[in-house]
Structure 1
């Protein structure tokens, strides 16, 4: 524990604002809560500005419920990603405070309002099939206090649809482009806007799309500058990174 915090804690004990036992718990706090099957990083909010996020895929409903209950007790905002509707229903029976968003496949709980960023984030998809990944990015960004503009189904097969929405896209502080198949949309958008572009390849596509590898390689090899690429189907990662960039522009006072 830092010296300044230790002095403050000792003063609270002296003034009977906290008990000796409570003070010892804070001093001995290892920075995580051990549930045996999971170790919740209780210091992540202080270190990074954002609390730990629960990756739901591969975890049982009971495990998700246990982690969520522990985090609610810590009065922390909660996001659980990659949760099927069936698993979400099982979790909600144990933790009814959690809200499920089916398209994004996320469970949410808000204990506190986030700091609101001044700028907005535009999320652009090539097709409707990319929407579940786009919504994961959108909900993530909104949970971190960002205004999100959704521009869906404007892929290169009908490029006039993109041009019709350019004003909205260009007004954003950050642009997230979500595309499968050959993934060309990210390069097109990056060549039309001044904002940083975060590209998300999706596993949408036939045979040689290779479950998103083709789109990933296209985006990594983009000739347009200012494109950063996250992993295949990683809507959460794109939304988180876009939020970090957007908040650099300042927060609403």
Structure 2
């Protein structure tokens, strides 16, 4: 059963919410049509995580309208990905926005308390991969996860990774982010006893083909238990990691 509906039903059981109010929360309009966007208000009920705003290609005014709809309908934490600094400045004039320039991520509202079954480790091959890693880490934190960051632990100096075996073995899911040849995911996949989500980045010299080389390496990994998301898709990795980290919670 979806965790959001479960919370509503448990509130009814405790007497905190009336049956009529609970029914209204479940039956309320599934989306709001604001002309240029249909804001999905039922996503948290269907999937356990509210809608996220993809900022690239949207004007600040469009995003402000979507934010207003989300806040009006009770969304407490709003995540905006691929948000430019110019758009962030305009949105900040209307509502409080915590902007993370390196990740191009904006957050409205407070991060929820971690409620997953364990910890998510976000590891990068190099410092150049950190912007994608921060997108993944912030996405995971915005969805109620405790995140451990292990940056610049790539295979060019394998001892840097091996110095963090406690964190690797204690994780419930690991996000491995790397460009160049993308070997970090295979190494971590051969060490860890949890799912590994590989994220190829567009970092590398000419023959890396903008991340295609790392993507193919990760897809062809001989280590078991590795899934791969698209090039530079930190958000997708953070979201998937959160789903994995909440599987026991979602009964």
The answer to whether 1:148 aligns with 2:138 is no
The answer to whether 1:90 aligns with 2:52 is no
Alignment-derived partner of residue 99 in structure 1: 98
- Once the two structures are superposed, the pairs formed by residues 12-23 of structure 1 within 5 Å of their partners are none
For 1:78 and 1:221, the matched residues in 2 are separated by 36
1:187 aligned counterpart, secondary structure = helix
Alignment-derived partner of residue 176 in structure 2: 177
For 1:182 and 1:148, the matched residues in 2 are separated by 25
CA-based RMSD of the aligned residues comes to 2.4
Would you say the 8 A contact 2:133–2:177 is kept in 1?
yes
For 1:249 and 1:31, the matched residues in 2 are separated by 26
1:68–1:92 Cα change, 3 Å: same
Q: How many residues align?
A: 232
1:217–1:162 Cα change, 3 Å: same
The answer to whether 1:54 aligns with 2:53 is yes
1:175–1:111 Cα change, 3 Å: closer
Alignment-derived partner of residue 196 in structure 2: 197
Which of 1 and 2 has greater Rg? 1
CA-CA distance at 1:225 after TM superposition: 0.6
Would you say the 8 A contact 1:119–1:249 is kept in 2?
no
1:66 aligned counterpart, secondary structure = helix
1:112–1:173 Cα change, 3 Å: closer
Would you say the 8 A contact 1:120–1:149 is kept in 2?
yes
Alignment-derived partner of residue 81 in structure 1: 81
Per-residue CA deviations over 1:132-174 (Å, capped at 9, x if unaligned) read: 1101111111111111110000111111111111221111010
Alignment-derived partner of residue 209 in structure 2: 210
For 1:113 and 1:137, the matched residues in 2 are separated by 16
Alignment-derived partner of residue 20 in structure 1: none
The answer to whether 1:69 aligns with 2:65 is no
The answer to whether 1:242 aligns with 2:241 is yes
1:150 aligned counterpart, secondary structure = strand
CA-CA distance at 1:227 after TM superposition: 0.4
Per-residue CA deviations over 1:98-123 (Å, capped at 9, x if unaligned) read: 22112221111237835611300111
1:223–1:112 Cα change, 3 Å: closer
CA-CA distance at 1:229 after TM superposition: 0.2
Alignment-derived partner of residue 157 in structure 2: 158
- What is the TM-score of this pair, normalised by structure 2? 0.86
For 1:184 and 1:232, the matched residues in 2 are separated by 14
Q: List gaps (5 residues or longer) in structure 1.
A: 18-22
Of 196-205 and 242-251, the range deviating more from structure 2: 242-251
For 2:138 and 2:31, the matched residues in 1 are separated by 26
The answer to whether 1:119 aligns with 2:148 is no
